[in-house]
Amino acid sequence: MTHDRPLLCVENLKVYFQSNGARAHAVDGISFEVREKETVCIVGESGCGKTVSALSILGLIPTPPGEIVDGQIIFSGQNLINLDEKAMQKIRGNHISMVFQEPLTSLNPVFTIGDQIGEAVRTHQQIDTEALFQYCVQLLNDVGIPSPKQRINDYPHQLSGGQRQRVMIAMALACDPDLIIADEPTTALDVTVQAQILALLRSIQKKRSMSVLYISHDLGVVSAIADRIYVMYAGIMVEQGNTDQIFRSARHPYTQGLLASLPSPSKRGKRLHSIPGTVPNPAYKPKGCPFHPRCRQKILSCQQEYPGMCDYGEGHLARCPVLFKPKGYPG
């Protein structure tokens, strides 16, 4: 791969939420980077901090309960954390845009889709009405909405879920951003539409040479589109690597567990594997490795210390105490 310059670089990001006296460590020191023209996936269970990290990139964390405590978010040379609201508004939608999880509620019910796409454009550019109309029709055509000239005057409730998600993607594309953050864009859609939306995202990414930060809990989806994958657990990155490394030679027990839970033809008729237990409460995380209560390979030191990332070469990193010790150590 030739695209090595990092477009977005998140370093040691910590986002904490204050609730009822307890401090929820929703994102607890994650680092990742998205290079130009690359699709990066963040994978993890519900509640592990994927969405929070995506929102904090755009500065959309609701500030009275939430707070970015530490870290840097460097986007094309600027630290987004230090920017004020005015400067952030210029970045949102224009340089970084976002596709949300629920296409059913992400569109304003009282405006036509043409209005909403047009607004996305007009917020950042000066454009006259006729050119805007043509541009919106063009965008709708690009995202595969049939008869866009007529559909442009439709209200969101007149569209199907898949079409609404296409409209959301059109809005995200409106200002030709450098990076699109897609926060589980296919979760609310059925499987055939899901495949169409993924294909659409990929073709658009190729055509427009953008980067995509794709957030998902669905490893099947991730394997189809990702260049590189970050596995997240309880606000921490536990493993990172390119798609091959993660799917062929996962190191971390959590990643291995996730992969074992995937259905596949070879497991036909057998019971699917599942990781016992649930994600810890982000306000009361276990000491040491956050995964150790659910880990089958845990050893004594798992409860006390948590080492940093261990490098396995070629960008494959994992963070697990066990991997530092010989296997079969009495636990």
Partner 1 sequence: MNMVEKKLSNDFYIESPLPPKRTRMQEFQRHFGQNRLAILGLFIFILFFCCAVTGLFLTSGSRPIFDPAMVRLQEKLRPPLAKPNLDSLQPQEVPALGVYLMGTDDLGRDVFARMLQGAWVSLTVGFVAVGISVLIGIFMGGIAGYFGQHHIRTDHILFTLALILGTGLVIVNYTFIGIVIILLCLAYIFYSCLARHESTEKETPVLKAVLHSNAVSVDTLIMRIVDIMLCFPSFFLILTVVALLPASIYNIMIVIGLTSWMGTTRFVRAEFLSLREQDFVAAAKALGLSNFRIIFRHIMPNAIAPVLVSATIGIASAILTEAGLSFLGFGVPPPHATWGNILSNGKNFIFDAPWLTFIPGVAILIVVLSFNLFGEGLRDVMNPKLRERH
Chain positions contacting partner 1, by CB under 8 A: 58, 60, 62, 64, 88-94, 97-98, 100-102, 105-111, 119-120, 123-124, 130, 133-134, 137, 141, 146-150, 153, 157, 168, 171, 174
Q: Which is nearer to partner 1, 4 or 85 (CB)?
A: 85
Q: Which is nearer to partner 1, 97 or 163 (CB)?
A: 97
Shortest Cβ 128–partner 1 spacing (Å): 12
Q: Which is nearer to partner 1, 66 or 282 (CB)?
A: 66
Q: Cα-flanking dihedrals φ and ψ of residue 5, to 5°?
A: -70, 125
What letter represents residue 133's amino acid? F
Q: Is the separation of the CB atoms in 319 and 309 below 8 Å?
A: yes
226: left (phi over 0), alpha (psi -120 to 50) or beta: beta
Element at 61 (helix H, strand E): none
Q: Which is nearer to partner 1, 48 or 91 (CB)?
A: 91
Shortest Cβ 215–partner 1 spacing (Å): 13
20: left (phi over 0), alpha (psi -120 to 50) or beta: left
Radius of gyration of the chain (CA): 21
Q: Which is nearer to partner 1, 177 or 257 (CB)?
A: 177
Shortest Cβ 86–partner 1 spacing (Å): 8
Q: Which is nearer to partner 1, 188 or 258 (CB)?
A: 188
Shortest Cβ 2–partner 1 spacing (Å): 30
Q: Which is nearer to partner 1, 62 or 269 (CB)?
A: 62
- In the block, tokens 């990172």 appear at 240
Shortest Cβ 278–partner 1 spacing (Å): 25
Q: Is the separation of the CB atoms in 84 and 59 below 8 Å?
A: no
Half-sphere exposure of 47 (CA within 13 A, CB side): 8
Shortest Cβ 179–partner 1 spacing (Å): 12
Across 68-105, b (16+ Cβ under 10 Å) vs e yields: beebebbbbeeebbebeeeeeeebbbbbbbbbbbbbbe
Shortest Cβ 149–partner 1 spacing (Å): 6
Measured from the Cβ of residue 271, the count of other Cβ atoms closer than 10 Å reads 6
